[in-house]
Amino acid sequence: MSNRLPGLVALFVALAPAIVGAAAPAGATLSAAQNAVLQADGPRALALLGALHPASAAEARQRVCMAARLQDRPSFPAARTTGHPFPDAVLRAYRRYWRDALDPAHRAAAETALFADLRRLTGQPAQATRDALQDAVSARLAALGLHSRLGRTAELYDLMLYFREDERRYPVLLPDGQRESVRVFLMRDMVSGGWARHLNCGGPGTGGFATDEGLYAVADAYDLDDEAFRINFLAHESQHYADYKRLPGLQGPELEYRAKLVELALAEQTLAKTLRAFVANQGDERANPHAWANRRVLAALAQRLKLAQPERLVDAAADEVRAAARAALVQDNAERGLAPAGP
């Protein structure tokens, strides 16, 4: 099985001058700062944190932790380690890279530095490719009994590192009638949950992903019996799994567009929360597939429901939103030449 991805020391420590002195942007909320991280925009995230007036002690702690990690400073809670020299050196290399790469101006140099670190740690020759270096890291980690998944998540190279993995199989009925039986690998006892979850201090980040082998889920991120797992993870990622087979070569933004339609077509208790999350994280950069897809999904459904503003979807009738999402997915299938699923 491949190990590659598809695709505060003190609570009240002062925020660094870099964020205290930043221009105060409008809408400085914790969720706005977290969404800036998801969009790989570190300078904006830091500016938002600097302008944020926490509404609670928990929000204040999150603010300080995020600011520390965005600047590669000691944080509380401290980022987890394994206690073994090699994986902990790999973790340090990735965490430095994530801090630097979240500034688009430094991203290319940060990537070069990351792979120089990985080459040094694995003893690979100078001509080794980035894929070869990641494979060498995975092999060394596996020899130590650790599970890992390396590759890209949106705009950054990522590292999922964990101690245990369980496998289950789930039947899934997608809203266009497609049936899938998927293997789900539950990643447990996480050391690294990826760049977004690290920089958001356990907040929004990767909950899982699909490969052509099956689905991978961060087990601790879900109650495996509730709708968030069944819809926001299982159905969403099963759509990716189906599309990898039926639409090979489909790009990330389009994959996300289709999977997000699936979420809205099936969601019941989680529908309003999912819509709000899409509204809060929108963008026009294809390099950030989730934000790009959120904007296109909202626009497509608003047009179908004849709403003047996509944000009004949160007030629309749930049955109408679900029906519009299913219709948009069926239309997208037809435009891509996919035959209707059988009975």
Contact status, residue 79 vs residue 198, Cβ threshold 8 Å: yes
Residue whose tokens read 């830091």: 46
pLDDT per residue as tens digits for the range 185-235: 999 999 999 999 999 999 989 999 999 899 999 999 999 999 999 999 999
Is residue 10 very low, low, confident or very high in pLDDT (cuts 50, 70, 90)? very low
Is residue 341 very low, low, confident or very high in pLDDT (cuts 50, 70, 90)? confident
The H-or-E segment that residue 332 falls in is helix 318-335
CB-count exposure of residue 106 (10 Å: 0-12, 13-18, 19+): middle
Burial 181-193 (b: 16+ CB within 10 A, else e): ebebbbbeebbbb
* 179-193 and 215-218 beta bridge pairing: parallel
Torsion sign, CA atoms 285, 311, 297, 301: negative
CA atoms within a 13 Å half-sphere pointing along the CA-CB vector of 228? 14
The two tokens of residue 161 are 């590192």
Find, among 126, 44, 138, 129, the residue nearest to 94 by Cα.
138
DSSP codes of every residue in 96-121: HHHHHHTSGGGHHHHHHHHHHHHHHH
Is residue 15 very low, low, confident or very high in pLDDT (cuts 50, 70, 90)? very low
